[in-house]
Chain A
Amino acid sequence: MRRLPIALAGALLVAVVVPAVASAHATLGSTSPATQSRVETAPREVRLRFDQAVTIVPRSIEVFAADGRLVSGPVVAADRGREMVTRLQQLDRGAYTVRWRELSADGHIGSGVYTFGVGVPAPPPTEAVGASGMTWKDDVARWAAFVALAALLGPLVLWLVLLRSVDPGPRARKAFYATAAVASFAVIDVGILAFILRSSNALQLGFLDMLYGDLSPFAEKTRFGIAFLVMTVGFGVVALFALLAWVLDRPGLLWVTLGLGSLLASGWSLSGHQATEPNSSALTELADWVHLVAGSVWLGGVFGLAVIVWPLARDARRDAFLRFARLAVVLIGLVVLAGTYMAVVRLPDLSDLWTTSYGRILLVKVGVVGLALAWGAFHHLVVRPRLERGEMPRVAGRTLLGESAVAMAVLVLAAVLVNGSPPAPETPASGAVPAIQAGR
């Protein structure tokens, strides 16, 4: 049995030392002008080089100016089919979008989009000509991601921090392990869905073409793409520790799941408004992360109390509830403090709250958070004293579920806010910085 850690470590080493990528059809190797590059001299042609021969199809390369004008000509093959080339009209200073399609060597239609700038910085691919903005699908994906993160962090804090001196019993232990593993995978899966949706807004492809759509410019050239890559691999490790904790029955391993999961959540903070807006700073990024993690632990903790502790750990109910009530005060304080700071930065004028759509959504969110706080106050003022007297109010299980439902509503509004655009801050006329969309 002593060899088990060695066997696991050896197997993990195998996983770490052999990074590789697998593919079976043509992929875009290089482009000229380069993806998301700024060139000072107007190029005369666009040249795409693939890792194997491709076949030209209608609309193989189309280059658009920022106003939507087509500025490219017919496409020809070069270097025995490995390259596609199109001549360009005389380009003015500005941003340009390249949309391409090819019949790949394995018979699939590959498609992609990228941008470059002549004398100006290239916009991110999410702002390519023809790209659409966020849709309700993006909001749903973001909401699901928040729910998954809350379901991961909240129950773990309940067990590891608040119930560290109390055995919740075998059924609750299993439920905590299962929740951690399922939530870890859910964060990854929802992240993949959100990334694909976000990319599809710019690619604007039909379903079949989207299957072979090239997502690499979004993965490699945008903040949200890089965050996606890091979070995907990172939460794979988070899931590994959640599974190992269950298999070895060592709750201590869940500290890695909790710590790494909280840390990786910063991927959203480092690729959202608080990192990309012109008046962003390290403080706004930190505030966003604190807001996200504290909110997740609060709402996920209520969820954990309602669906794990209350039905499965009767003996731990009282301790869990009373200790969580104390922790919730701290968490809510952090959420309100960080949220207020970010609101002041994003909406410097009070009137922004009712004159901008971002402000109005924020007001609705504050209202729903107020409802959640009122619900929490009921627990604090009515349920907590009865528990302290040794009673076990039967209504608490149902009201906890109700508070969880309100928490879901809070997360819906948080998702809509995150995907929305705050009003651009006023900047001096000289050297004005263009507004940057969140998550670019």
Chain B
Amino acid sequence: MEPRPEIAHWWFASIFLLLGLILLAEVIVGPTVFGRRPWRRYLWPATALASGVLLWLVAALSTFSMLHLIAHSIWAQAAMIAGAVELAVVRGLLRRPAWSLVTAGMLAVSGASFLVHEQNGWLFSRSAFLHHAIGWVLVAAALFPIGKAIRPRLAIWSTGFAVTVIVVAVLLYTDRDVAPIFGHLSEFAGESK
């Protein structure tokens, strides 16, 4: 039994919200206080890594179109690679700030996948709007890890990254498969459910 598409988006919205709150908590209390319990620092990379495994399952269930199969596969790999690299940073295996560029790259690739797999315009339907919005937000979010690689001590990068992840969660929560956006619905989009 497969859940409705918007339900699936809400599952992932919850994961993104969890990630965003973890990151925001670290920003609010500061990395020193946050790191007093070492396991806390593993939370967001481990969640990203695990969500990648989940996305393989979603990819396997996305054979209703080739583009969706490929897009979900890209997201799965991006989440696993970014999660593993950030875990390695937390473990001290990777020390150079430049390793943040891996996360930046994965965000950019994920955003590009969102934009490519949505071939309708922004105002075609709500899901089309959200795919464009999420795609561009993820591409923009890639700037924060890049900034962290260049100036690791500035808090703005962590703050911006945390807020961006929460914004993606909110966008995913507002998803409905076919629904009007700003009162508009393309004449091709059929009836809303």
With a cutoff of 8 Å between Cβ atoms, the chain A residues found around residue B38 in the complex are: 1, 3-4
- Residue A282 at the chain B interface, CB threshold 8 Å: no
A11 CB contact (under 8 Å) in B3, B11, B46, B56? B46
A18 and B11 contact, CB distance less than 8 A: yes
Binds B, one of A65-73, A160-168, A239-247, A392-400: A239-247
With a cutoff of 8 Å between Cβ atoms, the chain B residues found around residue A21 in the complex are: 2-3, 5, 8, 58, 61-62
Contact with B along A87-113 (1 / 0, CB 8 A): 000000000000000010111101000
With a cutoff of 8 Å between Cβ atoms, the chain B residues found around residue A27 in the complex are: 64-65
Q: A15-B51, A103-B188, A239-B80 are in contact. Are A247 and B91 (CB under 8 A)?
A: yes
With a cutoff of 8 Å between Cβ atoms, the chain B residues found around residue A10 in the complex are: 46
DSSP class of B's interface residues: helix, strand, loop or mixed? helix
A4 and B68 contact, CB distance less than 8 A: no
Binds A, one of B100-108, B122-130, B140-148: B122-130
Total cross-chain contacts (CB, 8 A): 196
A107 CB contact (under 8 Å) in B37, B39, B49, B124? B124
B20 to chain A, nearest CB (A): 15
- Residue B76 at the chain A interface, CB threshold 8 Å: yes
A23 CA to B59 CA, complexed, in Å: 11
With a cutoff of 8 Å between Cβ atoms, the chain B residues found around residue A229 in the complex are: 60, 63
A238 CA to B143 CA, complexed, in Å: 31
Q: A24-B118, A52-B177, A247-B91 are in contact. Are A4 and B42 (CB under 8 A)?
A: yes
A243 and B84 contact, CB distance less than 8 A: yes
With a cutoff of 8 Å between Cβ atoms, the chain A residues found around residue B178 in the complex are: 52, 105-106
- Residue B193 at the chain A interface, CB threshold 8 Å: yes
Q: A22-B5, A22-B9, A23-B177 are in contact. Are A247 and B65 (CB under 8 A)?
A: no
B15 and A14 contact, CB distance less than 8 A: yes
- Residue A175 at the chain B interface, CB threshold 8 Å: no
- Residue B88 at the chain A interface, CB threshold 8 Å: yes
A15 and B5 contact, CB distance less than 8 A: no
Contact with B along A228-241 (1 / 0, CB 8 A): 01001100110110
B47 CB contact (under 8 Å) in A14, A26, A215? A14
- CB interface residues, A 233-265, toward B, < 8 Å: 233, 236-237, 239-240, 243-244, 246-249
For the complex, count residues of A whose C-beta is within 8 A of B: 66
A106 and B60 contact, CB distance less than 8 A: no
B73 and A189 contact, CB distance less than 8 A: yes
With a cutoff of 8 Å between Cβ atoms, the chain B residues found around residue A105 in the complex are: 125, 178, 188-190
With a cutoff of 8 Å between Cβ atoms, the chain A residues found around residue B58 in the complex are: 19-22
A106 and B124 contact, CB distance less than 8 A: yes
Q: Which of B8, B57, B58, B128 has the most CB of A within 10 A?
A: B57
A276 to chain B, nearest CB (A): 21
A18 CB contact (under 8 Å) in B54, B68, B120, B127? B54
- Residue B163 at the chain A interface, CB threshold 8 Å: no
A12 CA to B124 CA, complexed, in Å: 36
A229 CA to B64 CA, complexed, in Å: 13
B62 CB contact (under 8 Å) in A18, A22, A106, A213? A22
With a cutoff of 8 Å between Cβ atoms, the chain A residues found around residue B191 in the complex are: 52-53, 80-81
With a cutoff of 8 Å between Cβ atoms, the chain B residues found around residue A23 in the complex are: 5, 8, 62, 64-65, 68, 177
A185 and B77 contact, CB distance less than 8 A: yes
With a cutoff of 8 Å between Cβ atoms, the chain A residues found around residue B69 in the complex are: 192, 196, 215
B51 and A106 contact, CB distance less than 8 A: no
- Residue B87 at the chain A interface, CB threshold 8 Å: yes
With a cutoff of 8 Å between Cβ atoms, the chain B residues found around residue A1 in the complex are: 38-39
A106 CB contact (under 8 Å) in B39, B70, B189? B189
* B15 to A, closest residue via Cβ: A14
B93 to chain A, nearest CB (A): 7
B97 to chain A, nearest CB (A): 18
A240 CA to B190 CA, complexed, in Å: 41
A216 CA to B77 CA, complexed, in Å: 22
With a cutoff of 8 Å between Cβ atoms, the chain B residues found around residue A240 in the complex are: 49, 52-53, 80
Q: A20-B11, A106-B125 are in contact. Are A210 and B66 (CB under 8 A)?
A: yes
* A237 to B, closest residue via Cβ: B53
Which positions in B face A, CB cutoff 8 Å? Answer: 2-3, 5, 7-9, 11-12, 15, 37-39, 42-43, 46-47, 49-54, 56-70, 72-73, 76-77, 80, 84, 87-88, 91, 93, 118-120, 124-125, 127-128, 131, 177-178, 186, 188-191, 193
What 8 pairs across the A-B complex have the smallest Cβ distances? A53-B190, A236-B56, A3-B39, A20-B8, A11-B50, A105-B190, A15-B54, A21-B61
Q: Could you show 10 A-B contacts with beta carbons less than 8 Å apart? A: A4-B39, A4-B42, A12-B50, A21-B2, A52-B193, A106-B120, A232-B56, A240-B49, A240-B52, A247-B87
